Amino acid sequence: MRILDPAAADTGGELSNDDQLRTEPETARLQARIDQLAAHVQQLEQERASLRWMAGHDELTGLANRRRFRALAPELLRGDDRPSAVLILDLNGFKPINDTYGHDAGDEVLCVVARRMAACLGDHLVARLGGDEFVALPRAPRADVPETWLHEVAGSLSAAIAPPMNVLGHTLTVTASIGVVPAGPSSDLSDLLRRADQAMFSAKRRANTTDKAAITWVVATEAGDHTETYEPAAGPVPPPGPTASGPAVAYRAGDPVWVHRSGARRAGVIEGACEWAALVRYRGQNGPGTMVDTIPTNCLTVRAETDPYLDRKSSAAM
C-alpha cells in the first residue's frame, strides 16, 4: 500500500521540497506500520489454518482424526452409486511393544502402520480413531463390482502392513484384526461403525484361538460373517530408513507381482526396481489395458497366479 499525503492534492500529487522533507519520515513510519500489520495478519491466517488442520487430524500420524472422519464419511457415502465399506483395524499385541521397547517405539510403529494404510488405500478416507485403532472408508472402483471386492481390500491392506519394520534399531512385526461391513448411500454411520467394530472383535477372537502370527479379517454382511486370514511369507527385513516401511522382498525385472492401490489388487510385472520402489506394468481398473508407474515396494506383493496377458508379454520381451 502506498501512502499519499493530502497536502499533495492541491498540487496535482506533487509536494514542495519543504513539505516533502517534512512528510517523508512520517510516511516511512506509517508505511512500516502498515507492513508490520500486514505481516501480523498473514501470521494470524497461517495460525488459523494450522489450528483448523490440527482440529481435524491426528497429531502423531497425520491421518484424519475421529471428528474429521465423522464429518466427511456421510457425504462420501452419499457420493454416487459405487459400493462402499467401513473398515476398522486394530493392532494385535500392541501394548507389549510399548512395554518392551518404550513409547517412542510404539509411536513409530503407529506412524508406519498409518503410512502403509494411506499408501495402500490411496485417495480413500483413512483415520486414526485413537490408540492402535484405525478406520477407513474404501469405495469400489465401479458400481458393478462383485461383493468379493471387500475381501480384496482387506487382503491388500493386510499385505501392506504385514512386512517387518525397523524401529529404533529393533526389527518388529505387527498383526491386526480387521472388521469390514458393506455400506450404502442411506446407511447410518454410527450403525456402520458399531457393526464394523463387532466384526473386528470377532476377528480378534478368531486370532486368539490360533498361535499363528497372522492378520485376520471378518466381512460382516446380511448373509453372515466371512472370515479370512493373511499369513505373511517370511522375507528379509528392510534396512532402517526414514519411513521404516521398506520392502520385504528384493524385486527384479520380470517378477510377477500384485499392486495394492486404492484398496484394490491388480496384477503387474516388474520392469525395473531399486531398494524402495519399482517400475511396474500393471492392469488398469477396467478392460485388458495396462499402465506403467513407479510403485513403492511396500505396496507390492509376490504374485503366484498367472496373468495370461501380462506374463505372455513379459516372456516375449525376454
Give the catalytic positions in this structure: 132
Are residues 97 and 141 in contact, defined by beta-carbon separation less than 8 angstroms? no
Strand ranges (E), the chain: 64-65, 84-92, 125-130, 133-137, 165-167, 170-172, 175-183, 215-221, 224-230, 256-261, 264-273, 277-283, 290-296, 300-302
Q: Of 84, 191, 179, whose CA–CA distance to 138 is shortest?
A: 84
Separation CA 154–CA 180 (nearest Å): 8
Question: Which helix (H) or strand (E) element contains residue 132?
Answer: none
Question: Which helix (H) or strand (E) element contains residue 276?
Answer: none
Separation CA 101–CA 42 (nearest Å): 43
SS3 assignment, position 105: helix
Separation CA 192–CA 185 (nearest Å): 12
From residue 266, alpha-carbon distances to 71, 148, 205 in Å are 31, 14, 31
Are residues 292 and 271 in contact, defined by beta-carbon separation less than 8 angstroms? yes
- The residues, any chain, with a CB within 8 Å of residue 276's CB and separated by 6 or more, are 241, 246, 247, 296, 297
From residue 148, alpha-carbon distances to 117, 139, 182, 221 in Å are 20, 13, 11, 11
Separation CA 280–CA 296 (nearest Å): 10
- CB neighbour class for 280 (10 Å; exposed up to 12, middle 13-18, buried from 19): buried
